[in-house]
Amino acid sequence: MAFKVIKEDILSENDGVASEVRASLAQEKTFMINLISSPGAGKTSFLEVIGPKLKEEGISFVIVTGDCFTSRDAERLDALDLPVVQINTGNACHIDAQLVASALEDVDLEGMDLVIVENVGNLVCPAEFDVGEDVKIAILSTTEGDDKPIKYPLLILESALAIINKTDLLEYVDYDMDFSVENIRKINQTIKVIKTSCKTGEGIDAFLSWIKDKIKIKKIT
Ligand SMILES: Nc1nc2c(ncn2[C@@H]2O[C@H](COP(=O)(O)OP(=O)(O)O)[C@@H](O)[C@H]2O)c(=O)[nH]1
Ligand SMILES: [Mg+2]
């Protein structure tokens, strides 16, 4: 029982900071996405592919990347000259709103179109924590099994978009795409699903057109 109370306190404290982050982004009309997946589903790879394309499109953005201990993801993104801020969470299995607020302190948000948070690889905790994002995006992959949507329904419920990555590996793995998408839609009737491959580029244009619409809508609301 006491455990439950502590958790509620932590979440309500987090929600207060998330609201502040959301308010400061609303002032600048900056859209924020929170990318959540298991370790290795392809969050950083996806950013390596979309980052240069966002630049080509003239979209201004910053990536806040979370990792327990290393700065490997930030180094990969920095090598492509993508704007990135690294957060180390230590043993924490998620990024919380305070960490995002601290990361954004040194970022000039004026005129910024998009903030991208790459959360810590985990399908449970990040789904519970609002970090001030406009939308959460679940990245699933064909190598982790088609039952992950039903095993981690909160993430699917909380997400506006589900990306199913590594479609190039479909012929090598036992992944029933119809079963996976069916379960995603059972859990969340309004979620959009995009199938991608960071290797072949499948689905990348579909994502870019989705994100450009979201950025446009944010600017006029
Ligand atoms: N075949 C294939 N491999 C991928 C794809 N996306 C990522 N990977 C590989 O999956 C591994 C983990 O990717 P990474 O981006 O580090 O995942 P993260 O932990 O979610 O950030 C790397 O070896 C990537 O090269 C994909 O679409 N197809
Ligand atoms: Mg990564």
Q: How far is it, in rounded angstroms, from Cα 143 to Cα 125?
A: 21
| Per-residue pLDDT, 3 | 54
Residue 38 beta carbon below 6 angstroms from any ligand 1 atom: no
| Per-residue pLDDT, 4 | 53
Q: Using the mean position of ligand 2's atoms as its centre, give its distance from the Cα of residue 38 in Å.
A: 10
- Name the nearest CA neighbour of 162 among 142, 177, 140, 146: 140
**Residues with CB in 5 Å of ion ligand 2:** 43-44, 73
Residue 168 beta carbon below 6 angstroms from any ligand 1 atom: yes
Residue 201 beta carbon below 6 angstroms from any ligand 1 atom: no
**Domain spans, the chain:** 2-220
Residue 45 beta carbon below 6 angstroms from any ligand 1 atom: yes
Evaluate whether 115 touches 30 at the Cβ level (below 8 Å). yes
Query: For the whole model, what pTM was predicted?
Result: 0.95
* Sequential pLDDT tens for the chain (221 residues): 455 555 667 788 899 999 999 999 999 999 999 999 999 999 999 999 999 999 999 999 999 999 989 999 999 999 999 999 999 988 889 999 999 999 999 899 999 999 999 999 999 999 999 999 999 999 999 999 999 999 999 999 999 999 999 999 999 999 999 999 999 999 999 999 999 999 999 999 999 999 999 999 999 98
What residues contact 182, with CB distance under 8 A and at least 6 apart?
Answer: none
- Give Cα separations from 118 to 2, 38, 157, 185 (angstroms): 32, 11, 19, 24
| Per-residue pLDDT, 91 | 85
Residue 183 beta carbon below 6 angstroms from any ligand 1 atom: no
Residue 42 beta carbon below 6 angstroms from any ligand 1 atom: yes
Q: Using the mean position of ligand 2's atoms as its centre, give its distance from the Cα of residue 123 in Å.
A: 14
The architecture of the domain spanning 2-220 is 3-Layer(aba) Sandwich (3.40)
Look at the block and give the residue holding tokens 């959360």. 119
| Per-residue pLDDT, 207 | 98
Residue from 50, 76, 198, 202 whose mutation best tests the ligand 1 pocket (most atoms within 8 A of CB): 198
Q: Map residue 194 onto helix, strand or coil.
A: strand
Residue from 35, 43, 45, 80 whose mutation best tests the ligand 1 pocket (most atoms within 8 A of CB): 45
| Per-residue pLDDT, 9 | 74
